[in-house]
């Protein structure tokens, strides 16, 4: 039995949902309410000591980290395949995945929190924010401290947007041999970058590729046409459905 602990709006959860739907797997849906800190309860931390979603539980074994989960699903349920058959191709896909985790997946958190999620905390004073929000997080406390209740400063926002632009430029080059990042076949590389691009659209920043990267624009349209996409982005999966997105004004 497959069980997924996840949140609809979580970009990392979206990667895993897409993999599950692409593979037509049945899974038990455990929603974790991040706003209510359900990911920081002792019961959840016993499954995932990082205090983040998603977590997959397969026949009683907890598997953490979205890319690890995607690769685990690929190993245990190889058909339909979401990775190249040959070792060189798989290495190239994994190199994409590592780049995508290190660069855009980390970068997208900055505009996501700055333009939307930080608003959850704006009623707190600095001391309560540190005690009740930042310091209780196992691996994200410094990220939250850096953000504070007001959002990020200009340097952080500029750097993250630059990293997202760099990602799109790399995608544009790779997609010359498309339709997908790895060429003819849709793979985990496409799945891992998808939520960062979709989140930018959700934040009203789709001009970042629509004005500069035509192949990325076409790739995103192709992605949205896949049946698994609508299932992955069920109602409630976009930040703009639940909160007002603030313009990209930055502090300091
Ligand atoms: N490397 C982890 C990161 C997971 C992660 O950052 N999840 C976010 C949601 S996308 C989360 O749970 N954040 C909790 C928080 O901000 O307290 C993965 O890929 O699974």
Q: Give the domain CATH number at 98.
A: 1.20.1050.10
Mutation choice for ligand 1 from 5, 17, 50, 53, CB with most ligand atoms inside 8 A: 53
Is the sign of the CA dihedral 206, 208, 214, 218 positive or negative?
negative
Assess whether the C-beta atom of 118 lies below 6 angstroms from ligand 1: no
Q: Is residue 249 part of a domain?
A: no
Assess whether the C-beta atom of 52 lies below 6 angstroms from ligand 1: yes
Greater confidence (251 vs 41) lies with 41
Atom of ligand 1 nearest to the CA of 32: 12
Q: Is residue 214 part of a domain?
A: yes
Q: What is the pLDDT of residue 252?
A: 43
Q: What is the pLDDT of residue 118?
A: 93
Last residue of a domain, one of 76, 110, 139: 76
| Element at 201 (helix H, strand E) | helix 188-202
pLDDT band per the 50, 70, 90 thresholds, residue 250:
low
Rounded Cα gap, residues 95 and 194, in angstroms: 16
Last residue of a domain, one of 43, 76, 109: 76
Q: Is residue 81 part of a domain?
A: no
| Whether residue 100 is found in the same domain as residue 218 | yes
pLDDT at 251 over 80: no
| Whether residue 220 is found in the same domain as residue 149 | yes
| Whether residue 227 is found in the same domain as residue 123 | yes
Q: What is the pLDDT of residue 248?
A: 82
Rounded Cα gap, residues 20 and 27, in angstroms: 8
Share the mean pLDDT of the chain. 96
Between the alpha carbon of residue 93 and those of residues 60, 125, 180, the distances in Å are 29, 45, 11
Assess whether the C-beta atom of 134 lies below 6 angstroms from ligand 1: no
41-50, pLDDT tens digit by residue? 999 999 999 9
pLDDT at 249 over 70: no
Average pLDDT value for residue range 87-92: 98
| Whether residue 93 is found in the same domain as residue 55 | no
Mutation choice for ligand 1 from 6, 12, 49, 192, CB with most ligand atoms inside 8 A: 12
127-182, pLDDT tens digit by residue? 999 999 999 999 999 999 999 998 999 999 999 999 999 999 999 999 999 999 99
Q: Is residue 198 part of a domain?
A: yes
Average pLDDT value for residue range 94-116: 97
189-222, pLDDT tens digit by residue? 999 999 999 999 999 999 999 999 999 999 999 9
| Whether residue 120 is found in the same domain as residue 230 | yes
Which structure tokens are listed for 55?
Answer: 């977590």
Assess whether the C-beta atom of 11 lies below 6 angstroms from ligand 1: yes
Q: Is residue 9 part of a domain?
A: yes
Q: Is residue 252 part of a domain?
A: no
Query: How many domains, the chain?
Result: 2
Tell me the percentage of the chain whose pLDDT exceeds 70.
98
Q: Is residue 251 part of a domain?
A: no
| Whether residue 146 is found in the same domain as residue 223 | yes
Task: Indicate which CATH number applies to the domain containing 41.
Answer: 3.40.30.10
List, as one string, the DSSP characters of 74-132. Answer: HHHS-SS--S-SSHHHHHHHHHHHHHHHHTHHHHTHHHHHHHTGGGGGTTS-HHHHIII
Atom of ligand 1 nearest to the CA of 13: 10
Atom of ligand 1 nearest to the CA of 117: 16
| Whether residue 99 is found in the same domain as residue 45 | no
4-41, pLDDT tens digit by residue? 999 999 999 999 999 999 999 999 999 999 999 999 99
Q: Are 196 and 14 in contact (CB under 8 A)?
A: no
Range of the domain at 33: 2-76
Tell me which DSSP letter residue 244 carries: P
Assess whether the C-beta atom of 71 lies below 6 angstroms from ligand 1: no
């Amino acid at each position: 039995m497959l069980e997924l602990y996840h949140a609809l709006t979580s970009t990392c959860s979206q990667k895993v949902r897409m993999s599950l739907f692409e593979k037509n797997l049945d899974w038990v849906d455990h929603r974790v309410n991040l706003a209510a800190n359900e990911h920081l309860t002792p019961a959840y931390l016993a499954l995932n000591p990082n205090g983040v979603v998603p977590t997959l539980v397969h026949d009683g074994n907890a598997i953490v980290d979205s890319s690890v989960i995607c690769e685990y699903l690929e190993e245990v349920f190889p058909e339909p395949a979401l990775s190249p058959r040959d070792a060189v191709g798989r290495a190239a896909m994994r190199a994409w995945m590592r780049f995508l985790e290190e660069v855009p997946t980390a970068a997208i958190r900055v505009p996501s929190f700055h333009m939307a999620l930080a608003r959850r905390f704006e009623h707190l004073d600095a001391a309560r924010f540190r005690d009740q929000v930042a310091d209780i997080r196992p691996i994200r406390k410094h990220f939250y401290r850096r953000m504070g209740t007001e959002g990020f400063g200009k340097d952080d926002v500029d750097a993250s947007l630059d990293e997202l632009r760099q990602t799109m430029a790399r995608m544009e080059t790779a997609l010359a041999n498309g339709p997908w990042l790895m060429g003819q076949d849709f793979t985990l590389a496409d799945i891992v970058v998808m939520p960062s691009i979709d989140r930018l659209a959700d934040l009203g920043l789709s001009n970042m590729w629509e004005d500069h990267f035509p192949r990325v624009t076409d790739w995103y349209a192709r992605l949205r046409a896949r049946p698994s996409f609508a299932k992955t982005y069920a109602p409630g999966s976009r930040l703009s459905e639940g909160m007002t997105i603030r313009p990209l004004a930055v502090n300091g």
